[in-house]
Structure 1
Amino acid sequence: MELILLIAVVVIAVLAYRSYRRTQLQTKQRDEVTSAELESVKRTADEDITKFGEELQDLDLDMVGKDLGDGARQDYQRALDSYESAKSAVAQVTAADQIKHVIEILEDGRYAMACVRARVNNEPLPQRRPSCFFNPQHGPSVEDVTWAPAGGAPREVPACAADAERVRAGADPDIRKVMVGPQRVPYWQAGPAYAPYAQGMFGALGGVMTGMFIGTMLGGMFAGGGYGDMAGGGFEGGDGGGDMGGDGGDGGGFDFSEDPGGGDMGGGDFGDFGGFDF
């Protein structure tokens, strides 16, 4: 009996120590997001916001002279509000994990804009889906495709129509790349500062994305494990991450070899979106 109690005490002590080490490592990784990395991810978010604003201008021109119903007007106003809110939010970012909120605002605006187009064209409202995995600037995905980089394991990822077609044809998708030092790399390989950026797009998918990212930088994050225990090259997940929580990841990026389980555009103001008659 005493031996069983002793074993139980040892097990509890080991688990407590591992939890403590995991917390310490999470804090260490957060602190290691440099000011240059923070500026990089802010610039990336700012570019996305600017791109969204340009698409709003294009939408405004496309809608000139068309009869808009109340639903389309409301969705368009929601998209405009998202654009302004995202600009304001990114200007106030002082830590990498705050980028998640900026991207969530932008995601809502992208969906609202897709709803405007659907309403005006008398089409069903689009399903609420995450952005295209390959390039978030492409807007909401329309389907999941099986994809693997050279030498990597295949897995399901959400894709826009154009990238889904490219993948099915055996061509390379249009991947969003960002500057890391002297080179451009896919955003998912850009280091811990970009983990909240991805969370803003995919965190709501919870367990689905956890399965996709097993063995990768974001595997533990989508399981609710924050940065996780990277000592063995993987993560020790926490409790299920349905609320898009968590704070980052290993600067090594996604390791797609594991088995599955442009310049600063500023985000400036845009002109009069005059095509809609409110």
Structure 2
Amino acid sequence: MEYVIVGVLVLVALGIWVTVARGGRKLERQQATELEGAMAASLRAAEEDVTRFGEELQALDVTGGTLDAAARQDYERALDSYEHAKQSLAAVTRPDEVRFVTEILEEGRYAVACLRARLAGQPLPAKRPPCFFNPSHGPSTQNVEWAQQGQPSRSVPACAADAERVLAGGVPYIRTVQVGARRVPYWEAGREYAPWAEGYFSNWQGSDLIKGVAVGSMVLGGLVALPKLLDELGDFEGLGDLGEIVEGLGDLFD
């Protein structure tokens, strides 16, 4: 009788493990799909920015050997950032790694801003957050009051051109990204673009320069924690032989 009870308990335990295994595997598949979507979205945005940065570097008028030592250093720093960004882009294997690409681009654009200031005989720009409306515009020059449709106004960092437009009552040049068949402002694109935006703004989180900005609450922190969750799920590590048996049983019910 005791053997019968033990056998029943073992079968019940196995049944529970099979249920857990099936649920875990389905969750992994669902999260893997989300990760693939996030990877494609963030990579596409980062590729666009790397390409644009390269085009801007080519357009710089630095021929003729007219750069002094400081300007040459800025230019080389920008070139190094471009090459590093391309290498980081090619090495991306997870969505959260896209942020390294945009972090590099932010530094590269500041180097370009310094170079342009030196060439124009102007003071070096302050180290500020990227333009909120389009981080590809480079570092912001000031904050402006701006309101999304149906939202209260807030203070956001803007480049000189966008600040002028907003202060004149115009529309800034907003960075759009692809969502399905249409392009929308990046802060309306959802969690898929979180890694891309995080790279531009992560160094400025907590700064009152972008406090309350939509990107801080709607985009940043989206899928950044998802890879860690997948790692924690693992492949039923720590369950020993029983874990392997249950995983094999789970395959029979898929």
- Is 1:157 the counterpart of 2:156? The answer is yes
TM-score (norm 2): 0.70
For residue 219 of structure 1, report the CA deviation from its aligned partner: 2.8
Query: 2:211 is matched with which residue?
Result: 211
Counterpart code for 2:146: W
Mapped to 2, the partners of 1:221 and 1:184 lie a distance apart of: 16
For residue 218 of structure 1, report the CA deviation from its aligned partner: 3.1
Q: 1:138 to 1:185 in 2, by over 3 A?
A: same
Mapped to 2, the partners of 1:137 and 1:221 lie a distance apart of: 17
Query: 1:45 is matched with which residue?
Result: 46
For residue 193 of structure 1, report the CA deviation from its aligned partner: 2.4
For residue 247 of structure 1, report the CA deviation from its aligned partner: 4.3
For residue 65 of structure 1, report the CA deviation from its aligned partner: 3.4
Counterpart code for 2:53: F
Mapped to 2, the partners of 1:98 and 1:91 lie a distance apart of: 11
Q: 1:30 to 1:122 in 2, by over 3 A?
A: farther
Mapped to 2, the partners of 1:181 and 1:132 lie a distance apart of: 25
Mapped to 1, the partners of 2:222 and 2:40 lie a distance apart of: 20
Matches within 5 A, 1:136-151: 136-151=135-150
**RMSD of aligned alpha carbons:** 2.6
Q: Secondary structure at the residue paired with 1:195?
A: helix
Query: 2:182 is matched with which residue?
Result: 183
Mapped to 2, the partners of 1:203 and 1:172 lie a distance apart of: 26
Count of residue pairs brought into register by the alignment: 198
Mapped to 2, the partners of 1:208 and 1:153 lie a distance apart of: 20
Matches within 5 A, 1:227-246: 227=222
- Percent identical residues: 51
Mapped to 1, the partners of 2:31 and 2:130 lie a distance apart of: 26
Query: 1:86 is matched with which residue?
Result: 85
Counterpart code for 2:124: L
Q: Secondary structure at the residue paired with 2:211?
A: helix
Query: 2:11 is matched with which residue?
Result: none
CA contact (8 A) 2:192 2:222 kept: no
Which protein has the bigger helix share? 2
For residue 191 of structure 1, report the CA deviation from its aligned partner: 2.1
- Is 1:112 the counterpart of 2:102? The answer is no
For residue 114 of structure 1, report the CA deviation from its aligned partner: 1.0
1:185-236 superposed Cα distances (whole Å, 9 cap, x missing partner):
11112221211222111111222367314xx5733987xxx459xxxxxxxx
Counterpart code for 1:83: Y
Structure with the greater alpha carbon radius of gyration: 2
TM-score (norm 1): 0.65
Counterpart code for 1:97: D
CA contact (8 A) 2:130 2:138 kept: yes
Counterpart code for 1:65: G
Query: 1:262 is matched with which residue?
Result: none
Q: Secondary structure at the residue paired with 2:34?
A: coil
CA contact (8 A) 1:104 1:200 kept: yes
Q: Secondary structure at the residue paired with 1:158?
A: strand
CA contact (8 A) 1:143 1:158 kept: yes
> What stretches of structure 1 move > 2 A for 4+ residues in a row?
27-34, 63-67, 208-211, 216-222
Query: 1:54 is matched with which residue?
Result: 55
Q: Which 5+ residue runs of structure 1 have no aligned equivalent?
A: 1-26, 229-245, 249-278
Counterpart code for 1:58: A
